[in-house]
Amino acid sequence: MKKLSMEELHRVSAEEFHKQDKTPLIVILDNVRSMNNVGSIFRTCDGFAVEKLYLCGITACPPNKEIAKTALGATESVDWEYAEDTATLVQRLKAEGVDVYALEQTDSSIMLDQFQPTAGKKTAIIAGNELFGVNDSVLPYCNGAIEIPQKGTKHSFNVSIATGIVIWHIFNILQKY
């Protein structure tokens, strides 16, 4: 066994990435504090060719050296936009026909292994603040909430890990459509 070289991986350039088909998935960061988490989510969005990333509220935006540390160039490939208010953004996306789900533990959460995005429709997921989750004011505008099943003693995952798990799940399903 040997590691593959960069040439053997056949990765596209940022310019080619912008032109290629994207996964019909939108990721929204609602007041994410850690710039390392933001950078990590940029990198995950690049890896799964996510259509768009929205940075909302206090979430830091590129260019930023702390984001760049973990994004490793993904801020140049991923299409992103800043939106001041998450609830307003969610209302707009829903008016455009996007299904929007909070990554949150609620009294009516859908467990991730039971979640199925709607074929032919765009899906958006909202990842929230590291301490407080998705803002309560945003939840009424969502189509629902997705919860990741857990067996350990902690009640949540790190926001970048949780976002990556959910992106992978949705990406995997959409590849079959």
Mean pLDDT of 128-149: 98
The pLDDT value given to residue 3: 95
Domain assignment present for residue 9? The answer is no
Percentage of the chain lying above the pLDDT 70 cut = 100
Where residue 105 sits, what CATH number does that domain have? 3.40.1280.10
Altogether, the residues listed in the chain come to a count of: 177
The pLDDT value given to residue 176: 86
Domain assignment present for residue 80? The answer is yes
Tens of pLDDT, residue by residue over 24-69, are 999 999 999 999 999 999 999 999 999 999 999 999 999 999 999 9
Domain assignment present for residue 125? The answer is yes
Residue 46, domain extent: 20-174
78-89 burial, b for 16+ CB within 10 Å, e for fewer?
bebeebeebbeb
The model's pTM is 0.97
The domain tally of the chain equals: 1
User: Residue with structure tokens 């032919």?
Assistant: 120
Phi, psi at 28, each rounded to 5°: -120, 125
Mean pLDDT of 113-122: 95
- For residue 24 the two structure tokens come to 């019909």
From 20, 16, 27, select the one nearest 122 (Cα to Cα): 27
